[in-house]
Structure 1
Amino acid sequence: MCWIKDEETRLLAKIDFFILSFCCVTYFFNYLDRSNLTNAYVSGMEEELAFEGNQFNVINTVFTVGYIIGQVPSNLALTYLPPRFFFPAMILLWGSLTMVTAAVHSPQGIMAIRFFLGLAEASTFAGTHYILGSWYTERELGKRSGIFTASGLAGTMFGGFIQTGIHSSLHGTAGLSGWRWLFIIDGLITFPIAIYGLLLFPDTPTTTRAPYLSASERALAVSRLPMANAERARLDRTFFKQLFTTWYWWGFVILWVIAGETESFSSNSLLALYMKAHPTKHYSVTQLNNYPTGVPAVGIVSTLFWATLTDLVGGKRYLVGYFIGITGTVTAALILARFDSPSVVFGAYYWAGAVYACQATFFAWCNDAMRTQDSRKRSVVIASMNMGNNAVNAWWSILFYSADMAPRFTRGMWAMIGCSLALALWTTAVLAKTVRADKADLRTQVPDPPLGVVREIGKSN
């Protein structure tokens, strides 16, 4: 059977390259396009377009609304349309909208554009996790989900440097402000990515026509995962009734809502706000920009570590829930108790960045748990996880991490402790459900067809 192992190794190498290269680069520039508004705002857009009051915050809210609305429709679209067409189409759409932003003359124009930008960008994150769950086994998925998630964190780390370079080098060229060039360049970058995906993205194992996969490799890709993974239920009232009456939707959506709010402790730039508003210590502009980058750096390391570890131990994703429960509780308690010690506060904020690990592992956990469910239900649950988290995030940061609460964020510290404890409890509940579901699946499982039969199916396709 050594030849099967060798063929599987070649298959993994191919799909790793073409899926991860496309999805990671897309996600990196997805984050770049999201963050460019802030960079443009502080680089002259505020004055040139005469922003007033909280219009900037309203624009961000409008984007979030579009992003939330687009989650489920985008993932469902992936079960109807070939991903190699749908992903590039969405990339071209949000790239074009980004470029159009360079021509606006009022905050209201940006509001309209950002709403549709949110709709288009909704396809990337949840859609990629759906695709990853379609190709990879329980012992492979965590690491790939981690690499994908880390690419977004890398965009958070380096996006500011890239955008500052664009602004400073092109400001005044062809009579355009630097912030307008920022949107033009960010949009143009996405076009080659879309073309790459259109030509080489492999779709899903049962539908792939990728030229670099042989017939036997396509058959092997199908045989590696449960056949139910490829089934697609009819989209009707019965579908949604079954979806909302199973534990999968409620269990994983609530899990990610809670986990996402532990992550918001770091994603709301609390360390930078703490430094900016410190009552006695003054930090330079360089320090304000550089020191907080350690938080996503810790997040990248933690994400890759836990994603790889949970693969090695057979997909025990729940371990991350307990790790975050401890991390969130201890780091928030340290900041509350030792606020007068900058070294303790810095250490706690850096350590708290480790909670980013939940993003990759919990979406991998959902994919693992729903392997025997039809793919359309799995796509909706994954999209609903992200939708629920963003719906709560829309008001959570204002309530607990508003800038005027700096530097202590006392309310936010207690919220972090509460979420961390709730996450540990809910992780236990989801774990109990998955164990019970796995036992039920074993009792009703139909043996997979022999590999030779699957190969003949692959040849006939």
Structure 2
Amino acid sequence: MAHLPTDPAQYAAVEKKLVRRIDTRLLPVLIIMIVLNYLDRNALPNARLQHIEKDLGLVHEQFNTCISVLFAGYIALQIPSNLILTRVRPSIYLPTCMALWGIVSGCTAAVKDFRGLVVCRFFLGFLEAPFFPGALFLLSSWYTPRELATRTGIMYCGSLLSSAFGGLVGAGVQYGLDGAHGLHSWQWLFVIEGAVTVAFSLLSLVILPDFPATTRWLSEEEKAVAVHRLRVHSGSVDEERGPMLRGLFMAVSDYKVWLLALIAVLKTSAGAVTSFIPTLVATFGYGKTQSLLMTAPPYILAAIVSLGIAISSDRREERYFHLVSPLLFGMVGFIIEASTTSLAPRYFALFLMIGGVYGSFDITYAWISSTLPRPLEKRAAAFAIANMVGNFAQIYSPYMYNASLYGPRYIPAMAANTGFVVVCIVTATVLRFCTEEQLQAIIIGERIRAVTHALGESIGSSIMYSLETLLGSFVDACLFPRMHGHP
């Protein structure tokens, strides 16, 4: 800690500069990566409007199977990947996975039948699996809990905007490239999106940072501040490594992880409707290009809502109400969608459904970091468990949207989604009461930080650090005795 500023004003200035540098080096890369991640994943629903079913001879539930099989591969790698990420360089691991999924996405253009499409979708999910929980873990390794929801929200906006861009890209490809060089428009869609993904993965190898203490473009003073501020907020830093399996066991045995995972799977179950937004819009009676264009506005609104909720959540240091409130609007959207066949109300319902369910989706993951800040292996496993359990919903949810049985109102699916939202709100309420003590510990930790910084001018940095550590350990022992060996 020799490079840690002892003057509070100097410390604040260095910290402000540090956060600004992280925001400009880490966030833009992750945003573009998640945009491309979701573009490649959601290319198939858009390709449906470009007659991929007819061209490949898909019948009955085969299209829905191709949607869901991606998540069988996706789930398989979640936990191992995030535990591996605690031991390797994220700047190499995540871009490598990105290049591989881009190649698989591009190769989807060459499939000839249902079997080939299933194989491509499974491996696409398998290779996409490391990115999202890995990106969440990387963000939590740089930002404090009071900064994390905003940054997670900014990154997650990329996934929502990718769904909007996916419709726009699909419309452009349908209009300009259908039949070019003997390829169908859906084939061009996979080729273009896969090629862009591979190209950006090479660029991200150079730009994406690793962890605070090992990032080359930070000064020694900035590294010291980056490590220190995480230590103050969570009691440890991510360079303090423990056994991976111990971290996994700690996560699996913590009931809060499973409450958060239940919230994730319920929200994802309700949000699985997004895989069928192009199909729902197609029932409005417009042409293929116009239908693809109409899918964009609901996602753009959801991105704006998501960012606003994330910023408000960080400023107020509150998670529960910011997660629950938008869900009520989503529930209204599901009810409207099931209640009428009129075009205007159903299109309005899409805004409520997508904005309501996904407007606070990132808050779930910010809640993980603030509830389970340490050790890093446990936090990494918790992100992976929540994301893995959450995506189980993507395996069974597609079968609720059988167009021949339930379209165009999809009453069983909308009724189930309403139920998912209600149970999600109840689960979040239980979690809120279970984490009240921990919130008090965070508040006390903030006060300790303020006091020790006020003493910084009169004592050395090593003494100031020791004082913070001592007081922080005292708070831990009082409020979390089970972590210190007491019953």
Change (3 A) 1:425 1:59: closer
Select which of 338, 361, 364 maps to 1:362.
364
Partner of 2:387: 386
CA contact (8 A) 1:20 1:144 kept: yes
**Map of 1:321-340 to 2, 5 A cutoff?**
321-335=323-337, 339=340
Partner of 2:396: 395
Secondary structure of the corresponding residue to residue 145 of structure 2? coil
CA distance in 1, matches of 2:442, 2:23: 29
CA distance in 1, matches of 2:341, 2:118: 41
Partner of 2:472: none
Q: Cα deviations across residues 291-339 of structure 1 (Å, max 9, x unaligned)?
A: 443321221121011001011112x011123303432443444556x63
Partner of 1:23: 30
What number of residue pairs does the alignment pair up? Answer: 444
Q: Cα deviations across residues 351-409 of structure 1 (Å, max 9, x unaligned)?
A: 232221221111111111112x211111111111111121123113423x433322333
Structure 1 position 177, deviation (Å) = 4.9
Select which of 124, 129, 136 maps to 2:131.
124
Q: Cα deviations across residues 206-228 of structure 1 (Å, max 9, x unaligned)?
A: 3x3232x1111111111111342
Partner of 2:319: 317
Percent sequence identity over aligned pairs = 28
Partner of 2:224: 219
Q: Cα deviations across residues 398-457 of structure 1 (Å, max 9, x unaligned)?
A: 23x433322333323332332222222211111112212345688999x7898934999x
Change (3 A) 1:40 1:264: closer
Secondary structure of the corresponding residue to residue 202 of structure 1? coil
CA contact (8 A) 1:296 1:353 kept: yes
Secondary structure of the corresponding residue to residue 90 of structure 1? helix
Q: How high is the TM-score relative to the length of structure 2?
A: 0.81
Structure 1 position 178, deviation (Å) = 4.6
Partner of 1:452: 461
Partner of 1:264: 272
Structure 1 position 130, deviation (Å) = 1.0
CA distance in 2, matches of 1:340, 1:165: 29
Aligned partner letter, 1:322: V
Partner of 2:406: 405
Secondary structure of the corresponding residue to residue 140 of structure 1? helix
CA contact (8 A) 1:257 1:389 kept: yes
Partner of 2:13: 6
1:347 equivalent to 2:356? Answer no
Aligned partner letter, 2:206: L
Secondary structure of the corresponding residue to residue 392 of structure 2? helix
Change (3 A) 1:246 1:39: closer
Structure 1 position 259, deviation (Å) = 2.3
CA distance in 2, matches of 1:97, 1:332: 34
Secondary structure of the corresponding residue to residue 224 of structure 1? helix
Secondary structure of the corresponding residue to residue 139 of structure 1? helix
CA distance in 2, matches of 1:321, 1:369: 15
Q: Cα deviations across residues 235-273 of structure 1 (Å, max 9, x unaligned)?
A: 33x5444322212321211121122233335x2445x65
CA contact (8 A) 2:167 2:292 kept: no
Change (3 A) 1:439 1:203: same
Partner of 2:242: 233
Select which of 134, 138, 141 maps to 2:141.
134
Q: How high is the TM-score relative to the length of structure 1?
A: 0.85
Change (3 A) 1:72 1:409: same
CA distance in 1, matches of 2:292, 2:352: 18
Partner of 2:40: 33
Change (3 A) 1:358 1:442: closer
CA contact (8 A) 2:331 2:353 kept: no
Aligned partner letter, 2:429: T
CA distance in 2, matches of 1:45, 1:423: 35
Which one is further off, 221-230 or 26-35? 221-230
Partner of 2:68: 61
Structure 1: give runs of 5+ residues left out of the alignment.
457-461
Aligned partner letter, 1:4: Y
CA contact (8 A) 1:171 1:177 kept: yes
